[in-house]
Amino acid sequence: MGFHAESIIPPDAYNETISEKGPHIKNVPLESISKLAPYSALILCIIFIIYFLFRFYILESFLLRKVYGKTYTQMDETTRRGFVNHHIAGGTKVAILILAAYPFIDVVFMTGTLHSPFAGSRHVTMGDIFIIAAQALVAMYVFELFYRPKISPVSVGHHIGAIMIGQSAIAISLNLSREKDATIEFLLCLVWGAFDIISEFLPHITIILYRVYPTDHRFLRKLFRISAITTLTGTTAETIVVFFLWGNLWDRWTLVFKVTTPILHIIFAAAQLWGTWIFYTMYKKQCSIIASNKGDEDSVETAP
């Protein structure tokens, strides 16, 4: 006599692991980010220490003086701190790109998962790299809030939002039994962070060059124009990608993230567009200076 046991597991219990059509992120399973996630606060503290040592003993101690000479030493305190911060922020973003570019592409758009090995390692996973990269970016924002004496309210809002969202995404991943969208929320945060790193890297270089070559108005005009275009393009591309992924993951979001995700993105996009506007006004200012100088030259030529 045959015996048949009916499964008590709901038929949709494994929906998250069944391959679906669409972007790869739809098929990323609900899983912990990394074994390092419980130690994320310790990682954050270590990165703060690295920033301090690099700023105090390398940048401010000798490197910036040696590279920029009087351009750096004659800066007032506010300008100097901003100048140092742009070096730390730019360097951090380059380091994150080198470390996390491949894992990001593989997990979000290709075939990897958070638990896939990193570069063939038997011990390091993609998620481990993401935890370190995320904490480095968060530490960079915290450093700027504490270090710079002057910072715009828009930047303050952007940085505080990025800090809270990044840390919350890691925190909720520690309780997967209740937070069913923790994994995809973290991946969406990675998308935000990736676009922030890419589109906001050139502005750091732009401000550094602006301080080094303050009288080369034709060069600065081109530089500010390019920065305005790239930040606008980056924000537009980010909006398209974020809402594409958010829409494709609609069935996996809880109500909270269905509501808050577009709100948060609008806030981030507004901050980035504010940066675009700043660079546009700086571009127009350089145009005015060039036109004024040309007018002065014409006056000299036509003088009796």
Q: Is 135 exposed, middle or buried (0-12, 13-18, 19+ CB in 10 A)?
A: buried
As a whole number, mean pLDDT of residues 18-25 equals: 68
Q: What is the pLDDT of residue 293?
A: 80
The answer to whether residues 194 and 96 touch, using CB atoms and an 8 Å cutoff, is no
Q: pLDDT tens digit string along 46-66? A: 999 999 999 999 999 999 999
Distance of CA 49 to the CA centre of its chain: 20
Residue 50 lies in a domain: yes
pLDDT band at 29 (very low <50, low <70, confident <90, very high): confident
Q: Where does residue 79 fall: left (phi above 0), alpha (psi -120 to 50 degrees), or beta otherwise?
A: alpha
102-112 pLDDT per residue, tens: 999 999 888 88
Identity at 81, one-letter amino acid code? R
Residue 25 lies in a domain: no
272 part of a folded domain: yes
**pLDDT digits 0-9 by tens, 223-276:** 999 999 999 999 999 999 999 988 888 888 888 888 888 888 888 888 889 989
* pLDDT averaged over every residue in the chain: 87
Assign residue 60 a region: left if phi > 0, alpha if psi is -120 to 50, beta otherwise? alpha
Residue 297 in any domain: the answer is: no
pLDDT value of position 20: 62
Choice among 104-108, 147-151, 198-202, 291-295 with the minimum mean pLDDT: 291-295
- Residue 300 inside a domain? The answer is no
pLDDT at 32 over 50: yes
Q: Which pair of structure tokens corresponds to residue 132?
A: 């370190």
pLDDT value, residue 261: 87
Q: How many domains does the chain have?
A: 1
Domain that holds residue 145: 33-291
302 in any annotated domain: no
Q: Which residue has the tokens 């909270």?
A: 256
Cα–Cα distance, 15 to 42 (Å, whole number)? 35
Q: Write the secondary structure of the chain as one string of H (helix), E (strand) and C (coil).
A: CCCCCCCCCCCCCCHHHCCCCCCHHHHCCCCCCCCCHHHHHHHHHHHHHHHHHHHHHHHHHHHHHHHHCHHHHCCCHHHHHHHHHHHHHHHHHHHHHHHHHHHHHHHHHCCCCCCCECCCCCCCEHHHHHHHHHHHHHHHHHHHHHHCCCCCHHHHHHHHHHHHHHHHHHHHCCCCCCCCCHHHHHHHHHHHHHHHHHHHHHHHHHHHHHHHCCCCHHHHHHHHHHHHHHHHHHHHHHHHHHHHHHHHCHHHCCHHHHHHHHHHHHHHHHHHHHHHHHHHHHHHHHHHHHHHHHHHHHHHHHCC
> Is it the case that residue 23 has pLDDT exceeding 90?
no
Q: What is the largest CA-CA distance in the chain?
A: 118
| pLDDT reading at 285 higher than 90 | yes
Answer yes or no: is 23 within a domain. no
Is there a domain that residue 137 lies in? yes
Give per-residue pLDDT as tens, 64-111.
Answer: 999 999 999 999 999 999 999 999 999 999 999 999 999 999 998 888
Per-residue pLDDT reduced to its tens digit, 162-188: 999 999 999 999 988 888 888 889 999
Question: In this predicted structure, what is the pLDDT of residue 30?
Answer: 87
Which residue is it, tokens 């030493």?
A: 73
